[in-house]
Amino acid sequence: MTSVAVVTIVSGRAGHLAAQRRGLARSTRRADLHVVVSMGDPTVVDATAVVPRVGDALPLARARNEGARLALEAGADLLIFLDVDCIPSREMIDRYVRHARDGAVLCGPVTYLPRVSGGYPDDLDGWTNPHAARPNPAPGDVEIGTNWDLFWSLSFAVTAATWRTLGGFCEDYTGYGGEDTDVGRVAERSGLVLLWVGGAHAHHQWHPVSSPPIEHLDDIVTNAAIFHGRWGHWPMIGWLNAFRERGDIDWTPEGSSIARRPVGH
């Protein structure tokens, strides 16, 4: 029988984590282990492990790798990475288990929930409205993906063998942006298959955001440069173009360098 571990990394978001835990408890196929890795936040209740922060940037890649390591040590055969903001649908874990296989990276559709007062209902089926930019197969169907740029770490699953093939997230990245796209490149280079799993829904709880994400500008500039150095092309083109148009960065898609412009330039 498959042993399933859900890996969640967190800093703050105590309410979102609590809602996720309630969702996991309602799952038709319960996880055998929920590995919660705190990123330097001592207030996270019942964290499995704590990865310290170095400076202001969150160690997202390192924390996910630590969560996977602990899950594998505990005997997990299937790793499900679920963002702390995401509440799993009742069928999500079961759908991943049914379609998991070595050599594949499985992703499920994600719905971005609206802001509500008083919390979300236990049954979110009626709220399901997946992000239109990514595939949304019918429940029970699986679609083979061809665009690894659509991979995201909000909700995905891999077998233990596939995780070892990937080698984890590149820990050169810290903070927000780029590490997901990097994993996609590694998976593609390794000959893995991207599978979009119908019915493996997750519901992303509302939190404030900006577009482009100016609060993450420094992280994005740093991580974009790391990605370009590793792969020879730029990630996050939409955000970089938006920052350039705002006058926040010196960068062109054809160039090989990126730099933040001084405040008040």
Give the range of the structural domain holding residue 91, as residue numbers without chain letter: 4-204
Mind giving me the DSSP string for 235-263?
S-HHHHHHHHHHT-EE--TTSS--EEPPT
pLDDT band at 22 (very low <50, low <70, confident <90, very high): very high
Query: Is 163 inside any structural domain?
Result: yes
Average pLDDT of the chain?
94
Q: Tell me the β-bridge partners of 196.
A: 107, 143
Query: Is 265 inside any structural domain?
Result: no
Most distant CA pair in the chain: distance in Å? Answer: 60
**Distance of alpha carbon 38 from alpha carbon 49, whole angstroms:** 6
SS3 call for 18: helix
Instruction: Respond yes or no on whether the N-terminal peptide bond of residue 212 is cis (omega within 30° of 0).
Output: yes
In contact, 44 and 74? CB cutoff 8 Å: no
pLDDT band at 42 (very low <50, low <70, confident <90, very high): confident
Which one-letter amino acid corresponds to residue 44?
V
pLDDT at 68: 98
pLDDT, tens digit (0-9, with 9 covering 90-100), for 130-140: 999 999 999 99
- Does residue 239 sit in the same domain as residue 167? no
pLDDT, tens digit (0-9, with 9 covering 90-100), for 90-123: 999 999 999 999 999 999 999 999 999 888 888 8
Query: Is 11 inside any structural domain?
Result: yes
265: pLDDT strictly greater than 70: no
In contact, 7 and 67? CB cutoff 8 Å: yes
CATH of the domain at 66: 3.90.550.10
- Does residue 140 sit in the same domain as residue 223? no
- Does residue 18 sit in the same domain as residue 41? yes
In contact, 19 and 119? CB cutoff 8 Å: yes
